[in-house]
Structure 1
């Protein structure tokens, strides 16, 4: 016969694990200094401009060849 499991405790344990996972995700997202967020934003903008500048077709001319 298998091990007896208290469903109430198992449900609470699962909720605690999910809550800790969400907290960890929020710390990673919102726990950075303003300068670090700004640096990352500028880097992504620079990369986007670089890619946009090397496109063969401009987004303004979707059908022209």
Structure 2
């Protein structure tokens, strides 16, 4: 016979881990300085322009 497991404790531990993972993702997404956001925006814009500049035809 196996050990007795408190299902409520198991659920609470699992939910806490999920909330922690979501909080980590939110910190990465929203916890950036204005300069970091601007740099990422400019990088994205530059990549888009470079990709568009290498198109073979003018149809989009």
Quick check: which one's helix share is greater?
2
1:24-55 CA-to-partner distances (Å, cap 9, x unmatched) read 00000000001101111101101110110111
Where does residue 25 of structure 1 map in the other structure? 25
In structure 1, what is the Cα distance between the partners aligned to 2:3 and 2:38? 53
In structure 1, what is the Cα distance between the partners aligned to 2:5 and 2:28? 34
TM-score where L is the length of structure 1: 0.85
Report the number of matched residues.
60
Where structure 2 has 5 or more consecutive residues not aligned to the other structure, the ranges are none
The residue correspondences of 1:31-46 to structure 2 (distance < 5 A) are 31-46=31-46
TM-score where L is the length of structure 2: 0.92
> Bigger radius of gyration, 1 or 2?
1
Q: Which runs of 4+ in 1 moved over 4 A?
A: none
